[in-house]
Amino acid sequence: MQANLNQLSLTDIYSNIDEYFQSDKPKLIKLFEQHIDLASLIPQSFFNHYYSNSGRPRQYSLTSMISALIIKSILSIADTSLFITILNLSSELRNLCGFTSVPNASQFSRFKISFEKDLETFFHSLVELTEPICRQINLEMADILIVDTTGIEAYVKENNPKLFDNLLRQSKKLQKSNPDFNAHSYTCSKMPKESCANPEIKLSYINGHYCYALKTAIITNGLGIIRDFDFFDKSTLDISKSATASEAKDEYDAKSLIPTLNNFFSKHDFKYEYFLGDSGFDAVDNYKYLYADHNIKPIIPLRRAPSLPEPGFNEDGIPTCPNDPTLPMKFDGITRGKNRADRIKWLCPKSKKTRIDGKTTYILSCDNPCTESHCGRVCQIPIHNDFRMNTAVPRNSTLWNALYKIRTIIERTNFMIKFPMALNYTKLYNTTSLKSELVISAITQQITLLISNSLKQTEHLLSIKKLVA
């Protein structure tokens, strides 16, 4: 039986957009005209930079360009060319943006690249404006700080699944002669660390899969309103040094928290009572930074590896083999790192540390290893772990569980900017353009909050479309 396939045409798309504006035009235009004055919200420094290249007004005003990008985000239009076509077809949309003529794709692209830092400044000025509004709406939720790491997938050839599949097929040929050979792990280690088109687009492990993305940390409050973001375009996730990609990601996330929050607190003098984060942020330094340095109570679950048995401890406080508690692990020195607490490193009792060809090598002589790591199980005990184990809010208490449930709001925020705002569908690989797209999404959310507050309709803070429903 032949399937009945209907392909959506440009006419259909425009008809839907036109119907939207015909039915909801009065509401949408009224929302912006009565509740939002972009000119008064945009920092003067942005105006100065935008008009500095000429002594006369530009062809397109700053407010018109920003309005267009916000509307593009609201309407979930990822492709700039499609947006331009709709602008040319819809006089209502042009009037809403303040255009007498429509900019071309290059003008939109140059705007995002040339004024990315100005867009960030604009966003942070909106954060200062919306912070007291959030506290007025719900003080308890506004007093919560949440951080999550995510990524903006770039439009590069390395994100084509065929690349990984081809490497995996080649690796499986080696597996035929060696049954113990892990073809999947070997393939992962052979993946390029960065994109050929843009070296700042790194190999990442996001939402359970490998991809090439601009690694990003998102900061929200308990209402899901974005407070800040941080980009990790200069750092690389080193998967080769961890047993699994998930472990590498957790290690990466743990190290990213302090610089991310330092960056945030340098811009805004805000105070928070609680911090919510997943187990990836379970690191001793993070607890001390939050509680001792900033008086913020951390709500972070302990990081555990369910597939691996946990080491025990003998009467001398030395960790023991997970499979044989009579075998104490071997002391392997003190691990030190920048901005990290000193840790005592314990090595599998059946692992031997030696040097071969001038390189430190581990030889494992265990018939039943509890990990796939070539050096066996490693246990690192922080020298000072009071802040981690003795939390201000006891783990698994009623309050701790109630607070941790709120953490999922940041995942809904990430979903909102990636899909309803179409960030995940942008065909971009330029780092600055990708950053600007995220900043525009964050600006759009702040504008949504301002409109919601002005209308006294704060039950749907994460969707402007519901305001006109």
pLDDT in tens, 309-338: 778 888 877 889 988 999 999 988 888 776
pLDDT interval class at 340 (50, 70, 90) = low
Q: pLDDT per residue over 40-91, tens digit each?
A: 999 999 999 999 866 567 889 999 999 999 989 888 899 999 999 989 988 8
Token pair recorded at residue 444? 């759009």
Q: What is the reported pLDDT for 306?
A: 56
> Is-contact 447 463, C-beta < 8 A?
no
**Which pTM value belongs to this model?**
0.80
pLDDT interval class at 368 (50, 70, 90) = confident
pLDDT (mean) for 6-20: 50
Q: What is the reported pLDDT for 312?
A: 84
Residue 14 has pLDDT above 50, yes or no: no
Q: pLDDT per residue over 236-258, tens digit each?
A: 656 555 556 677 777 778 889 99
Least confident residue range of 154-158, 269-273, 333-337: 333-337
Q: What is the reported pLDDT for 371?
A: 84
- Taking the C-alpha atoms of residue 84 and residue 61, their distance in angstroms, rounded to an integer, is 17
Residue 26 has pLDDT above 60, yes or no: no
Contacts 24+ apart (CB under 8 A), 297-301: 297/273, 297/391, 297/392, 297/393, 298/274, 298/391, 298/392, 299/274, 299/275, 299/393, 299/400, 299/403, 299/404, 299/407, 300/275, 300/276, 301/395, 301/404
Token pair recorded at residue 405? 């449930």
Residue of higher predicted confidence among 45 and 356: 45
Among 208-212, 324-328, 391-395, the range with the most confident prediction by mean pLDDT is 324-328
pLDDT interval class at 93 (50, 70, 90) = confident
> Is-contact 377 311, C-beta < 8 A?
yes
Chain Cα centroid distance, residue 68? 25
Q: Across all residues in the chain, what is the average pLDDT?
A: 85
- Taking the C-alpha atoms of residue 457 and residue 469, their distance in angstroms, rounded to an integer, is 12
Burial level of 402, CB count in 10 A (0-12/13-18/19+)?
Answer: exposed
pLDDT interval class at 264 (50, 70, 90) = very high
pLDDT interval class at 147 (50, 70, 90) = very high
pLDDT interval class at 467 (50, 70, 90) = low
Grouping H, G, I as helix, E, B as strand and the rest as coil, residue 399 is helix
Burial level of 458, CB count in 10 A (0-12/13-18/19+)?
Answer: middle
Token pair recorded at residue 299? 């709500």
CA angle 166, 171, 174 (to 5 degrees): 145
The CA-atom distances, in angstroms, between 211 and each of 84, 148, 161, 201, 397 are 30, 17, 9, 10, 37
> Is-contact 344 334, C-beta < 8 A?
yes
% of the chain with per-residue pLDDT over 70 = 85
Q: What is the reported pLDDT for 6?
A: 47
Residue 36 has pLDDT above 80, yes or no: yes
Which residue, 453, 465, 463, is CA-closest to 138? Answer: 453
Contacts 24+ apart (CB under 8 A), 192-197: 192/158, 193/236, 194/236, 195/154, 195/156, 195/157, 195/158, 195/429, 196/156, 196/157, 196/158, 197/154, 197/156, 197/157, 197/429
